[in-house]
Amino acid sequence: MNNNVYGIDLGTCNMKVFCKSSGKILNEKNTIAIINKNQMYAYGNAAYAMYEKAPENINVTFPISNGVIADFNNVQTMIFEFLEAHAKGKVHGAEYIVAVPTDITEVEKKAFFDLFYKSKAKPKNVLLCEKPIADAVGLGIDVNEPTGVMVVDIGADTTEISVISLGGLVLSDLLHFGGNRIDESIINHIKRTYNLLIGQKTAKQLKENLGSGLPGRDDSMVVVGRDLVSGLPIELEINAQTVYEATKDNLNSICNSIKMILEKTPPELARDIIHSGIYITGGGSQIQDLDQLFTQITNIRVNTCESPKESVVRGLIKIVSDEKYKRLTFNMKTRILR
């Protein structure tokens, strides 16, 4: 296989890229700042720093929405500028393997394929791999075995719950909510409780610093927002219990979806899942005690992992490096010809 291989996970919040020639994972915010309606002003972490702070003539957007491409041209421009600036291998004529969500249409999958296949980089090959499969491989699971594995990937806009066996998906459910919906719940709860309006970034910090799957945490954090009564900016101390009250309904919705998938799982695969446990990954899985909440609801052990945001791209690394995983990928061009 060509040494210039890129494994790419285009998430709603972060894009993760593995460059085989350098052996490094690049992680950047999946954000674009557009000036004068059609000119790219900044991208990645620099654009995210402008989010909720930019003047009217600069529009800061997330070009991936609900797991699919919402702004094709800008995503294409951003990803190749990023690769040329940071990747240590040749972009032109390289091979690309891209992770895609499962429960999306063929047209949406083709958009991920065309992003690279129809680019100026003229790639040697473009392969797609379903995210839950890449996730499981990245977690160190041999997905080719006839053993049932459940993976719950909690992203920014989507939560994907999958049961995998023999290198394929037996059951899968793509929920159109994730970390961003939890952030919105925190904003709305604080607005109702304290008449305080906070920004999306502040809500995300509260979730990451004080969020918990179970009640009883006693930490607190000082935030700055706008008082809806006086209209002036003020500081307020928010405790972990407030954040728990704001997020518990969303976390219970994920629990209910996990239970529904388990109810549909064939008995032999369910036995394997009880034996191996449920694997949780994605940025949203970093909420404290989330594994304990899922264990309470399902009575099944829950496994966490290091660097859950990078598990998909780590799986892509193994898939392109190990011949036994090659069949887990597919080529949209071949599908279309059929």
Per-residue pLDDT of the chain (338 residues; tens, 9 = 90+): 446 899 999 999 999 999 888 888 999 999 999 998 788 999 999 999 999 999 999 999 999 998 899 999 999 999 999 998 887 778 989 999 999 998 889 999 999 999 999 999 899 999 999 999 999 999 999 999 999 999 999 999 999 999 999 999 999 999 988 999 999 999 999 999 999 999 999 999 999 999 999 999 999 999 999 999 999 999 999 999 999 999 999 999 999 999 999 999 999 999 999 999 999 999 999 999 999 999 999 999 999 998 999 999 999 989 988 889 989 998 877 654 43
**217 and 278 assigned to the same domain:** no
Report the run of H or E that residue 68 belongs to, with start and end.
strand 68-69
**164 and 252 assigned to the same domain:** yes
pLDDT value at residue 245: 97
Indicate the residue among 246, 267, 283 that finishes a domain: 246
pLDDT value at residue 334: 60
**37 and 85 assigned to the same domain:** yes
**278 and 168 assigned to the same domain:** yes
Distance CA 323, CA 200 (A): 43
Report the run of H or E that residue 145 belongs to, with start and end.
none
**16 and 109 assigned to the same domain:** yes
**115 and 213 assigned to the same domain:** no
Q: Which domain holds residue 300?
A: 142-177+248-307
Indicate the residue among 199, 222, 246 that finishes a domain: 246
Residues in CB range of 142: below 8 A, 6 or more apart: none
Q: Is the pTM of this model over 0.75?
A: yes
**225 and 88 assigned to the same domain:** no
pLDDT value at residue 3: 62
pLDDT value at residue 282: 95
State both tokens at 252: 């219970």
Domain at 223, CATH number = 3.90.640.10
Domain at 152, CATH number = 3.30.420.40
**206 and 240 assigned to the same domain:** yes
Q: Are 172 and 161 in contact (CB under 8 A)?
A: yes
**262 and 324 assigned to the same domain:** no
Distance CA 277, CA 235 (A): 43
The domain total for the chain is 3
**53 and 117 assigned to the same domain:** yes
**280 and 147 assigned to the same domain:** yes
**27 and 64 assigned to the same domain:** yes
